[in-house]
Amino acid sequence: MRIIENPNRAQWKEILQRPTATYEAIEPLAQRIFNSVAAEGDAALKAYTEVYDKVVLETLTVSSPEVHVAIAELDPDLKEAIKLAKTNIESFHRAQLTDRVSVETAPGVHCWQEKRAIEKVGLYIPGGSAPLFSTILMLAVPAQIAGCNEVILCTPPDAEGKIHPAILYTAHLCGLEKIYKVGGIQAIAAMTFGTETVPQVYKIFGPGNQYVTVAKQLATRFGLAIDMPAGPSELLVLADDTANAAYVASDLLSQAEHGPDSQVLLVSNSKAMIEQVNTEVSRQLLDLPRKDIAEKAIANSKLILLEDAQESLDLINQYGPEHFIICVKDLDFYIDGLQNAGSVFIGNHTPESAGDYASGTNHTLPTNGYAKQYSGVNLGSFQKSITFQQITPHGLAQIGPAIEKMAEAEGLQAHKNAVCLRLKDIK
């Protein structure tokens, strides 16, 4: 890994550059696929599945027998692990339920806010070399708690037209019945427009590669909402001499193995720690089944020596990491000063993998610096806030003259008249 010692602030932008393709490079392809799916529906989905997934499908829908076979063949210990994770995720997200917010802003003026579930949501679950069945838990569980009426799932098939059994088991465990064999840009397009088979939704959730990320952003032009522009995974670890170098290296590699366009960074005030971590990364890398993928990500990654604590904090906030691990003596300084991160993992015994699977927090998080303005997925992501108000005659008499004055000042006479008529009747 590349070691950078005490870079000045002018270098930070270049050092922290993500290894991602630009939106402009992918958008023309995404637009072509969107146009095809909008015009041709299922036929376009099957054609693109043949091109990108190398399989010809007769039907896009996962059948009940396929689900039952997956349930029967999945390892019992893995089933129990998934159930444990589901319980913890439910606990954390159910705790996010809020009561109605109600206040009398003035005598006779009653205002309140209530949450309503988004009626139709679509979940995108990557397949490919790493079928992310854990993401189903992260999305379907809060969707259920929120009370979404329709939840559909799109995921790419393998070369035999099958879906990984863990994906089907987890979907079944979460009560999902509408599962479709479609991935990539075409899956996002299908949920955007609807086809003969795949229903149109109001909001799309789920991670993916750069192509899926661009497709989700394109979907917003057609009236859909998305969870966030989440792209390739990333991790920043802050470690001093109190950290365990082997643990740090394992955390860096856990994100590097996601994909060749992932990025991992270590920031440390200790040159000795940086050297130990570098050695550990090289040693642990040799034993990884996904070594080739991790090596490519490591090539885009950096070990940064910064001896000043405030500079380290400023650099972290400028980067806005998706995942942020803190293994330092002075935890409070960094926790209190942190402004931008998707999810934070504190101490030597809190690996990022815990949040990916079973601690209970959500692993669908903003990447590519979007942690500066986006939250990770939470219960509120599946809800809308609706405001209500009810005003008595006495209440309108209290605030009516102010409304009239403000409406007149803005030149909106009809607004003023709507109050004037009522005030005359009240008097």
Which sequence positions are flagged as catalytic? 322-323
Paired tokens of 177 = 């019945």
Is 352 marked within a binding site? no
179: left (phi over 0), alpha (psi -120 to 50) or beta: beta
Is 250 marked within a binding site? no
* Alpha carbon separation from 413 to 157, 392, 404, 417 (Å, rounded): 60, 23, 9, 6
Nearest to 217 by CA among 406, 30, 423, 25: 30
Is 124 marked within a binding site? yes
Is 172 marked within a binding site? no
Is 217 marked within a binding site? no
Who contacts 109 (Cβ-Cβ below 8 Å, separation ≥6)?
A: 389, 391, 392, 395, 398, 399
Identify whether the C-beta of residue 180 lies closer than 8 Å to the C-beta of residue 26.
no
What is the CA angle 385-388-394, rounded to 5? 155
Who contacts 22 (Cβ-Cβ below 8 Å, separation ≥6)?
A: none
Alpha-carbon span 43 to 67, nearest angstrom: 24
Is 284 marked within a binding site? no
Q: Which residue has the tokens 């931008």?
A: 340
Exposed, middle or buried, 31 (CB in 10 Å: 0-12/13-18/19+)?
Answer: middle
98-128 burial by CB neighbour count: b if 16+ within 10 A, else e?
eeeeeeeeeebbbeeeebebbebbbbbbbbb
Is 68 marked within a binding site? no
The beta strand positions in 212-269, using DSSP E, are 225-226, 234-239, 263-268
Judging by DSSP bridges, how do beta strands 234-239 and 302-305 pair with one another? unpaired
Is 258 marked within a binding site? yes
The beta strand positions in 340-413, using DSSP E, are 343-346, 383-391
Exposed, middle or buried, 22 (CB in 10 Å: 0-12/13-18/19+)?
Answer: exposed
End-to-end CA distance of the chain: 78
Identify whether the C-beta of residue 325 lies closer than 8 Å to the C-beta of residue 235.
yes
Binding residues for substrate: 233, 255, 258, 323, 356, 410, 415
Binding residues for NAD(+): 124, 186, 209
Binding residues for Zn(2+): 255, 258, 356, 415
